[in-house]
């Protein structure tokens, strides 16, 4: 333990430390640039009792460090406010862009529907008069022959039928009055055509 002379030279808490322990304290104080033993012991107690581990203790610069931290905190707060503002502006731009895209999509749909409606309205409906012979009635006509009689090619018949949501043969029957029996490649009239010519 400490001698009487040593105790006389070291007051307060340090008086209860022996030479080796005090030597360790002085070494620790030098490492962390602490001049007063009372301050060193306060830091050690805080670490031990509160779990605050001092990484680097520099009392001379402590006030400056606190000021620097306050400045940094203010800068961070300002940066967060700027980011939040930019995020809000970005969200507004995204929402505006989405609205424009929706409006453009609807305009395209409307234009497409209008165009489709015009095309559908231009598609001939109802029976078209054409000439045919008794032999045609007896032997039947191929699709190509039937289309030639009404002056519409087969691919157009198929396209128009699709636009009208009809089977091509159903649409062709609507235009001609001729049907293709099951398992047959030729078309025959269901009833006499008014324009029937022998």
Per-residue pLDDT, 193: 45
12 or 39, greater pLDDT = 39
| pLDDT per position as a tens digit, 43-93 | 777 776 665 555 555 455 556 666 677 677 777 777 777 787 788 787 888
Sign of the four-CA dihedral 90, 95, 98, 99: negative
Tell me how far apart the alpha carbons of residues 60 and 189 are, in angstroms, rounded to a whole number. Answer: 112
What proportion of the chain, given as a percentage, has pLDDT over 90? Answer: 21
């Amino acid at each position: 333990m400490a001698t009487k002379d040593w105790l006389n030279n070291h007051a307060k808490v340090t008086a209860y430390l022996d030479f080796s322990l005090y030597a360790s304290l002085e070494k620790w104080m030098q490492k962390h640039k602490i001049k007063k033993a009372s301050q060193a012991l306060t830091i050690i107690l805080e670490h031990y009792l509160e779990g605050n581990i001092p990484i680097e203790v520099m009392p001379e610069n402590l006030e400056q460090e606190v000021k620097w931290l306050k400045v940094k905190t203010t800068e961070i707060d300002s940066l967060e406010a700027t980011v939040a503002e930019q995020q809000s502006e970005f969200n507004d731009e995204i929402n505006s862009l989405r609205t424009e895209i929706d409006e453009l999509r609807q305009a395209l749909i409307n234009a497409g529907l209008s165009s489709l409606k015009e095309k559908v309205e231009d598609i001939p409906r109802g029976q078209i008069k054409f000439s045919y012979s008794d032999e045609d009635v007896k032997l039947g006509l191929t699709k190509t022959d039937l289309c030639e009689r009404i002056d519409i090619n087969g691919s157009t018949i198929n396209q128009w039928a699709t636009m009208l949501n009809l089977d091509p043969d159903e649409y062709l029957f609507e235009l001609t009055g001729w049907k293709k029996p099951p398992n047959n490649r030729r078309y025959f009239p269901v009833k006499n055509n008014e324009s029937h010519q022998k």
